[in-house]
Structure formats: C-alpha cells, structure tokens
Amino acid sequence: MTVYQEIFEVLKQRKADFDSGNAPEKSYTCYLYEKGVDKICKKIGEEASETIIAAKNGDNEELKNEINDLLYHVMVLCVNQGLDWADVEKVLDERNEKIGNLKQMKTVDKNT
C-alpha cells in the first residue's frame, strides 16, 4: 500500500466518522466534510495557487509542502464525492501506457 492509499483510507474513515456523528474533536478533515464541496474546492484553489507561487519563487522546500497540501485537499474532494483513489490511479496507469504518443500541441498567439 502506498502512502497515498494509506492517507486515503484515513480520509475515508474520517468521512465515515463525520457521517455517523462521531467526528474526532478539532479534526480539520471533518471540518472540510462539514463545510462541503464548495469549501473543499476553495482550498484546492488556494493550495494550487500556493504551489504555483512556490514554483515560480524557485523554493523547492516550500514547493514540496504545497504539493502535499494540494494532494491532501484533492484526496478529501475524492472522498467527499465518492471517488475512490484506486480509480484515480487507474487513469494515471492508463495514461502511463500511452507514453510516447505525443499529442499535437496548439500554437497560441500570446500577443492577442
């Protein structure tokens, strides 16, 4: 089991705890489930922006932390929406099999 799968299992348990009314006190994950998809998506947007800023600043120490924050919130969204992490990984596996099949890139005029 990968670390991502382990974390995903904890997030699913937190969701089950929240749904049954047995949420651990002061659980940030349960707070997100309580607030719902809008709050979770807002956090994903914030973390994506912070990831971009860290990358643009060339700060790999900060970047690795922001990437993990982003992945955590994406996983919370998956659990909230009933999407299993294995399904996400399956898509990645399928895309990995297509390596070498370069898509034709669009040319974009950045001056307009």
* Tens digit of each residue's pLDDT (9 = 90 or more) over 30-66: 999 999 999 999 999 999 999 999 999 999 999 999 9
How many angstroms separate the CA atoms of 91 and 89, rounded?
5
pLDDT at 104 over 70: no
Supply the pTM of this predicted model: 0.84
Residue 96: per-residue pLDDT: 86
Would the CA dihedral through 80, 86, 92, 94 be positive or negative? negative
* pLDDT-based confidence at residue 106 (cuts at 50, 70, 90): low
DSSP-based three-state secondary structure for 22: coil
Tokens 């973390």, residue?
A: 47
Instruction: Give percent of the chain above pLDDT 70.
Output: 88
Mean pLDDT score, 66-74: 98
Question: Among 3.40.50.720, 3.40.50.300, 2.60.120.650, 1.10.287.1080, what is the CATH number of 3-86?
Answer: 1.10.287.1080
